Amino acid sequence: MNNLVKSLRCLLPVIALAMAACSSTSNQIVQADKPAIQVPGSFTNPLFPNGADPWLEYWDGNYYLTTTTWTSELVMRKSPTLEGLADATPVNIWSDTDPKRCCNFWAFEFHRLQGPNGYRWYMMYTAGQDGSLDHQHLNVLESAGDDPMGPYEYKGALMPDVWNIDGNYLVHNNKLYVIYSQWQGDEQLNIIAEMDTPWSLKPGTPHTILTRPELDWEISGRKVTEGAEILQRHGRTFMTYSASFCNTPDYKLGLMELVGDDPLNRQHWKKYPEPVFSRTDTVFGPGHNGFFRSPDGSEEWLVYHGNDSVEHGCSATRSLRAQKFTWNEDGTPNFGTPLTPGVVVSPPSGEDGPLVTRVQGQAYQLINATSELCLDIASDPQDSRALQANCRGNNGRWILDPTTDGYYRLANGESSKFLELANCTATNNARIQEAAWRNNACQQWSLEAGQDGHTQIKNRHTGLALGVAGCSAAANQAVLQQSDSACNQWRLQPMGEVVLLSQQSGKTIAVSSNQAGANVQQAAWTHGDNQRWTFKHTDTGYFQIKPQNAPSLCLATEADAVVPGANLQLADCAAKTAQWRLTPKQGGGVALENRYSRQLINLANCGLAEGTNLAQGPKLENRCQVFHLRQPD
């Protein structure tokens, strides 16, 4: 990240605080277009190093990004700003230890497609065997719901016995196709076939060669065409592809267009004779791209990898880059040239809102420790005030959505608006309300460990906490910003059934059976009741954690042991070690701390393997003790 931008970000709260001290301290409703303290969003390329084969989607208020890992792990980042992806917490959403598909994960692409059970995210990626690149092939995962962060279930391999990489979907005339790359002789080709489901080919479908390296600019180093990507606009379908060997500085983008009605007929495709995106004097080997739109939908952007040196090739030197592109008068895309590193790039249009959007993630009720009432918004549509209300089954639904530097935005799951400090007022008892997202510090919050398992919710702009007016226990009392209050402690109550995904492995916390003494271990998501949990409040900020397949039993340690390494199992809910607290961690995960032993749920040896055991351990502040709550459907 540009050092100047980082410096400005650090100074911003100080400048804003001084400005607010001179402003009015009245607690009046703020208009939607009121100027606010913006969080800088400009960036410079590269966004971050080791970012080969990027795929990026903007969905429901967040950017989601994957890049090649070369490991057995599928890592995703999310952020409400493009610039924020550079520092976003990498979360492992899938890992695999099956020897046939365990290793060398490449080129993840996730697409929202209509599946048998409605719209789902389908993650297509390349994987193979340890120690060799001779068995790379496409695999497909399916999300449980509409959250790109999962959980994901493994659905299958398209062509497990044939070398194939760089899979991409094409939807045309209500039919689904896959475009993939394969070596035939000394040529690497892009090939298309029709699909039966997002994870299987249509029986008997022809496999049509779309691109063959034959032009001078396609054969530098080796004869390569790969990494096909689809771009559709105004009824026209284009396909970019990466040409020449990636180990040379001449890796670049070419362009095809579907000019007929049948994607399986090569004669219905037009190949453009010149490359459309190539090296410069400062950027080498730009390629393996993707496309995304700005938050307001008005701009189209290119994401790609490139190198900073002519000597660099297909290694971890490839870094992530993004830039806006336009369209020529003839309707073809104009990608321009790769931006020189260090040039300041304005953020995609609409990042600063105003934006009203659903946000994906686990829903929580935020319950005041003093009143036992829920943080909510006034029921009058003309009144945006935050207040406390009686907790019901579906009110006060808040998504705790990570932004940057350990902060969160609190997204209202009912109104699709966000909690904010009105007018960025720095005084005590300042008004709290909901509003459209405008990417300012007054709409961001820290979640800090409080007393007895509770959490304090503090504004990023002022550092002051949420509390209840007069510490009243009555419904409809205002929730305000308070510098010192006995009622600024909140319980984070997960709503409904949840899946607990390890940040280290992307696998779920599961139980081996529905009997007392059943072992707790990790397992890939399969929609099982033994992978679904509910959080039942006991007292103060603590919970019993109950599996759906044995709701009368609770997560505890074996024989109520308090020592590090004590095994986790199902036990009677009256057990001493059957209560837990949630401690939010940077990036949206939580640590689960035992009330009795004061130790955390720990993934044994930070393992990725199916069946890796879960025990308790001392606080180590590592990703093997962080878990992400996800919706199972």
Residue 19 near residue 255, CB atoms below 8 Å:
no
**C-alpha span between 528 and 523 (Å, rounded):** 10
**C-alpha span between 214 and 188 (Å, rounded):** 11
Residue 151 near residue 138, CB atoms below 8 Å:
no
Beta bridge partners of 270: 257
Q: Which of 437, 368, 445 has its CA nearest to residue 404? A: 445
**C-alpha span between 252 and 217 (Å, rounded):** 8
Beta bridge partners of 256: 239, 271
DSSP reduced 3-state for 19: helix
**C-alpha span between 121 and 221 (Å, rounded):** 36
Count of CB atoms situated within 10 Å of the CB of 212: 16
Element (H, E) at 167: strand 165-172
Kindly give the pairing relationship between strand 208-211 and strand 187-197: antiparallel
Residue 320 near residue 48, CB atoms below 8 Å:
yes
Kindly give the pairing relationship between strand 187-197 and strand 223-233: parallel
Total number of residues shown for the chain: 633
Element (H, E) at 10: helix 3-21
Q: Considering just the CA atoms, what is the radius of gyration of the chain in Å?
A: 26
* 248 to 159, 223, 273, 289, 447: CA distances (angstroms): 29, 12, 21, 17, 47
* Residues 396-408 as b or e (16 or more Cβ within 10 Å = b): bbbbbbbbbebbb
**C-alpha span between 578 and 555 (Å, rounded):** 6
Q: At CA 33, angle to CA 30 and CA 36, rounded to 5?
A: 75
Tokens coding 399? 């998504």
Q: Which of 147, 152, 621, 71 has its CA nearest to residue 401? A: 147
Kindly give the pairing relationship between strand 344-345 and strand 62-66: unpaired
DSSP reduced 3-state for 295: coil
Tell me the residue ranges of DSSP E strands in 185-251.
187-197, 200-201, 208-211, 223-233, 236-243
Q: Which of 118, 250, 115 has its CA nearest to residue 171? A: 115
**C-alpha span between 215 and 230 (Å, rounded):** 21
166 is catalytic: no
**C-alpha span between 287 and 290 (Å, rounded):** 9
53 is catalytic: yes
**C-alpha span between 283 and 566 (Å, rounded):** 53
Phi, psi angle pair for 13, to nearest 5°: -60, -35
**C-alpha span between 526 and 548 (Å, rounded):** 14
Q: Which of 155, 79, 151, 154 has its CA nearest to residue 497? A: 151
Q: Which residue is catalytic, options 96, 226, 257, 434?
A: 226
Q: Which sequence positions are flagged as catalytic?
A: 53, 226
